[in-house]
Amino acid sequence: MAAPGTGHEFEFTGIDGNPLPLGQYRGKPVLVVNTASQCGFTPQYAELQQLWRRYRDLGLTVIGVPSNDFGRQEPGSEDEIKEFCESKFDVDFPLTAKQKVTGEEAHPFYQWAAEQAGDAAQPRWNFHKLLIGPYGEIAGTWPSQIKPLDKSITEAIEAFTGKPD
């Protein structure tokens, strides 16, 4: 079987247990970020929420993908993760169920991203960012150290959405 051609061909399970197909975002950009609740980068949840609020009406979706792959920094259950994100950072963008994001057991979306964009698309730590363009292509990758409101990310998003008012 051939590897899927676009990011829209993948589906996550939402943190609430419901399907979260990326195909529902065809024609719009999606920022996919592997997250963790006990990481030095965890405060980036606040900027991810700001990014979501700023651009969602223009079509952007932010999706958080909790993962325990790095430093065991996401040990909680889905309910605990959801409660943490909502109570500490007022997160209301979509979150997936906990996923593996590296190695042979990585979620198929992350395996595809690595095949498409190589090392830059492979998370090396929590809060690695992948921008999927409107056609399902990888339109940008940023390592953990680059904050969500960094100009390089907002400019990449605005290439698809335009600038917010």
CATH number, domain containing residue 74? 3.40.30.10
Q: Which residues contact 132 (CB under 8 A, 6 or more apart)?
A: 7, 8, 22, 25, 29, 30, 31, 32, 138, 139
Q: What is the CB neighbour count within 10 angstroms for residue 154?
A: 17
Is 139 contained in some domain?
yes
Does residue 125 sit within a domain?
A: yes
pLDDT, average across residues 127-142 = 97
Give domain status of residue 4, yes or no: no
The alpha carbon of residue 43 and the mean position of all alpha carbons in its chain are separated, in whole angstroms, by: 15
Reply yes or no on whether the pLDDT at 2 is more than 90: no
Q: Which domain holds residue 136?
A: 26-161
> Alpha-carbon distance 47 to 45, whole Å?
6
Q: Residue 156: inside a domain, yes or no?
A: yes
| 16 located within any domain | no
> What's the pLDDT tens digit per position in 40-60?
999 999 999 999 999 999 999
For the segment 85-107, the average pLDDT, to the nearest whole number, is 97
Position 66, amino acid: P
**CB neighbours of residue 90 within 10 Å:** 11
- Evaluate whether residue 147 is within a structural domain: yes
Please tell me which residue in 15, 22, 39, 153 is annotated as part of the active site.
39
The pTM is what? 0.96
Q: Is 35 inside a domain boundary?
A: yes
Domain count across the chain: 1
Our answer to whether residue 39 is catalytic in this structure is yes
To the nearest whole percent, how much of the chain has pLDDT over 70?
A: 98
